[in-house]
Amino acid sequence: MDVVHLHTVADWFDIPKWLEALPLTISVVISIHDMWHVTGGCFLYRGCDRYAKQIEPCDPCPILRWPANRFLAKAAHSRKLRAYRNCGARMVANSHWLAEIAGRSPIAKACGGVEVIAPGIDTTVFKPQDKAPCRKQLELPGDAFVIVTGGASLTDENKNVPWLLEQLLALPDLDGIIVLAFGEGAVPVPGGLDVRFTGGIRDRRELAGLLAAADVFVSASLMETYGLTLVEAMACGTPVVAFRVGGIPEAAPDGQGAILCPLHDGAALIEAITKLRNSPLLRERLGNLAHETAHTRNAASSFANAFAQLYRECVSPREDAKRKQPALTM
């Protein structure tokens, strides 16, 4: 084995301990999708910069209660710093926004900073499709204005789905609007709004058909380090409305397939959706731009080639070091 790539790990997996047991001849690449690897335990960035302190980072932790806030997060940060530095881990973020804030951590600095590789999607699956058969499959009327929202879990507070549904009540002529919400769980539905829950969708082709059936994909997420679901919607030719927060402007650039709104601005969100509803030409133009952006930037081949080059860079110095080692004599 030459390279270990940690992509997504379970909470119970003690990464620092595992890395310390790993032979130093093996290179380590760590994909960063959130802040966990560079903090004392936080996943989402909420404006706290104590993880970036050079002396006693994450002490005290504003989340943990006393007395744990004085040692747990600090100890976790210290263990990660030692383990990641000693193995020479290469860190790769999914957005420049995440790379910048993660790069402030002593852990990231000890690893030489954070690189950026945009996530890849299967563009042979996520692509524009004829809306009519997609809607027929989902039992949706052809003349309805269809809004899609969702993610892995509808009850995830960060996804902000209940708030979004309340805001959608302000749209005019609700009788002509259908909201499709995909993801595990269910949330309260305001009276007067036609919301249809699809449940969690694991089949990527099924998800692509749902996204292609929509007129717009709307996200009210309070924080995304990138926003892969937004990109999948864009790849299907469906324009996006979302908040201008975190890495979303990189995933869904304003005016290039998306309309971005100030964080938690319900009026701006409704205005953007209404514009798209009232103008099929705007939907078509943004949809085409969305498709072009996603297929050019997020093709799986580009993603794979970037990581293949990174793996080669990881292996080459170690191979050179092995060749320079003196031969053992008996």
CA distance 27 to 46: 32
E strands in the chain: 3-6, 27-32, 90-93, 114-116, 145-153, 177-184, 195-199, 216-218, 240-243, 258-261
The torsion of the CA quartet 232, 8, 63, 104, rounded to 10 degrees, works out to: -80
Helix (H) or strand (E) holding 109: helix 106-110
Question: What are the backbone dihedrals phi and psi of residue 65, each rounded to the nearest 5 degrees, phi first?
Answer: -85, 155
- SS3 category, 226: coil
On whether the CB atoms of residues 147 and 174 are closer than 8 A, the answer is no
The pTM of the full predicted model, rounded to 2 decimals, is: 0.91
Size of the chain in residues: 330
- Of 18, 12, 45, the C-alpha closest to 30 is 18
- pLDDT tens, the chain, 330 aa long: 899 999 876 556 789 999 999 998 999 999 999 999 999 999 889 899 999 999 999 999 998 888 888 889 999 999 999 999 999 999 999 999 999 999 999 999 999 999 999 999 999 999 999 999 999 999 999 999 999 999 999 999 999 999 999 999 999 999 999 999 999 998 999 999 999 999 999 999 999 999 999 999 999 999 999 999 999 999 999 999 999 999 999 999 999 999 999 999 999 999 999 999 999 999 999 999 999 999 999 999 999 999 999 999 998 765 554 444 444 433
Helix (H) or strand (E) holding 296: helix 280-297
The token duo for 176 is 């002509």
CA distance 210 to 181: 10
The token duo for 252 is 């869904």
The token duo for 6 is 């940690």
CA distance 91 to 106: 13
- SS3 category, 49: coil
CA distance 84 to 78: 10
Q: Which amino acid is at 325?
A: Q
Q: Which residues contact 186 (CB under 8 A, 6 or more apart)?
A: 154, 155, 197
- Of 91, 201, 213, the C-alpha closest to 154 is 201
- Of 320, 203, 222, the C-alpha closest to 269 is 222
pLDDT at 325: 45
Tell me, which fold does domain 131-297 have in CATH? Answer: Rossmann fold (3.40.50)
On whether the CB atoms of residues 91 and 108 are closer than 8 A, the answer is yes
The token duo for 54 is 């050079």
On whether the CB atoms of residues 159 and 239 are closer than 8 A, the answer is no
Question: What does each C-alpha distance from 225 to 41, 96, 178, 300, 329 come to in angstroms?
Answer: 16, 9, 28, 19, 53
Name the residue ranges covered by the structural domains of the chain: 3-120+300-318, 131-297
